[in-house]
Structure 1
């Protein structure tokens, strides 16, 4: 594929190699693929970026009612619990697509981590994905809870945090990685990076249409689009990390600004020269590796009731 010339300057050689490797899994007619085929391609692509589990990590699967979960344990007496909600536009992805990411977060923080295989659209449109995420979060009791998610999963984290305001076991923090939060207007990043590598404006519209079952009223529901909330008060301390070359970059900035304006604590980190989906590049792209370390630091410090440094 060809992209606007500005990305030749914004992106380094390592990032371009990551982009080309990702694109190599998608056939020329990828736009016309059905959902089942999209999932197969996505899962195969994600497997190509998997890394071995860190040594000493215990991993096992369970089911919470109808929801498959995968649990990661790096230490016997972990001081905190992470709930991880994966990306994939609410349409693709699952326990396997983000397995090595979750394993490394658990190992590097020393925290227990539970990954959630929430139901996907179009078979299970909104709010069934959110219902699963809230149910899984409520089941995590006894330790400080940190919500972590990327892209669509970050959207679910923000919606879960809002749903659990005032709850006994509400999360003590959330880390949102290149979040999709439902800005209702065309943001500067959406306009500037409408044709960015890895994710474009048309892709964002496609996934929103599937998740909403093409119901325009759903799009302004704050559970669907956290940026549409009437209030951002009482949300947990938040770190939102965006990629510079991503149409969704401004969602993170707007969300953090709204929390801060409401008297809360939020930090937006914009990662220069990175693209949507860069978690998979954490072992091959130096910029992504550095960002992943900042993500680990954010998760660790929020769980201790401290504030991350950048």
Structure 2
């Protein structure tokens, strides 16, 4: 297999974003200590933070003893439960603050960001347990429709919680929207091989995050709490929208997950956005492609919250 020509796949705007991000959060960040990684990641997030739109009311409150941040703009029955990315190692309520605020502003839905525990202090299944505890408390406090969402590691958690909750709260989750999620696909094929050395996230990075996530243990091979794609039952899952980045080793997980849900009779659609890289939500102010990527995220969340499925003709 020939190596991808990223100079051709990635446009000038996105390369400018990559250069700015690499200057703040170097590509070899995984070689730093965990403390150093978190420090540079937090600084990078502040550099790209776009602030909150006017009119958003924000409060930090716990759900299920898990720290959370709630964003509200207007009266709504719909709650978006959002899990942030960061490889289960970095990130938190501040790292994705502007993203959650923008989703709230543009959809009008309540958004609740969940600050699950990070590795290595909290190893699997601790982060999943946090994600579930917060979700269960949110579902009790806010009895309306729920939309599950998350990016990267957060996409994994959103899907894992959805797999669990479909039996306990049938019908409550209107849909899930997963942004370049890591769902536990086959690392020996597809994008894991083709884009093993992609800008922003490499196969070596994924191996590091996997090791830290499990601590001294071994990655489970058949536990959907860890890898939703390892589930043996994909029935009963809500309508699902997968939005991935073409230049990303995780991209194939979107297609595999879509196929698993469709194979079980469910609704799912996968968009693999051309020329995009992992983490491109932060590029939306610098790249027209990334802005369109975020538009697709917002439109998907809005449609799922309404109970709409505008993807009937989509061939993806």
Task: State the alpha-carbon separation in 2 of the partners of residues 90 and 127 from structure 1.
Answer: 11
Give the whole-Å Cα distance in 2 for the aligned partners of 1:134 and 1:29.
Answer: 32
Cα distance, 1:292–1:30 mapped onto 2, change above 3 Å: closer
**Aligned equivalents of 2:179, 2:255: Cα separation in 1:** 12
- Report the aligned-residue RMSD: 1.5
Q: Name 2:103's counterpart in structure 1.
A: 105
Decide whether aligned partners of structure 1 residues 74 and 28 sit closer, same or farther in structure 2, where only a CA change above 3 A counts: closer
Contact 2:64–2:136 at 8 Å: present in 1 too? Answer: no
Contact kept? 2:64, 2:137, Cα under 8 Å:
no
Matched length: 306
Q: TM-score, normalised by structure 2?
A: 0.93
1:173-199 Cα shifts (integer Å, max 9, x gaps): 100000100113422111111100000
Query: Contact 2:84–2:114 at 8 Å: present in 1 too?
Result: yes
Measure how far apart 1:166 and its partner are. Answer: 2.4
Gaps of 5+ in 1: none
Out of 87-96 and 226-235, give the one that drifted further. 226-235
User: d(CA) in 1 for partners of 2:26 and 2:268?
Assistant: 40
Counterpart secondary structure, 1:218: coil
Alpha-carbon contact 1:241-1:252 (below 8 Å) kept: yes
Maintained 8 Å contact 1:172/1:237:
yes
1:184, 1:228 within 8 Å by CA — same for their partners in 2?
no
> Displacement of 1:168 after TM fit?
3.0
1:16 and 2:15 equivalent? yes
**Is the 1:154–1:180 contact (alpha carbons within 8 Å) kept by the matching residues of 2?**
yes
Distance 1:28 1:21 in 2: 12
Match of 1:84 in 2: 82
Partners of 2:43 and 2:219 in 1: CA distance:
35
Report SS of the residue matched to 2:226: coil
Pick closer, same or farther for the CA change 1:119–1:31 going to 2, 3 Å.
closer
In the aligned structure 2, how far is the partner of 1:212 from the partner of 1:237? 30
Give, in whole Å, the separation in 1 of the partners of 2:241 and 2:276.
17
Distance in 1, Cα, partners of 2:211 & 2:126:
15
After TM superposition, which residue ranges in structure 1, 4 or more long, deviate above 4 angstroms? Answer: none
Gaps of 5+ in 2: none
Q: Which moved more, 1:99-108 or 1:32-41?
A: 32-41
CA contact (8 A) 2:78 2:145 kept: yes
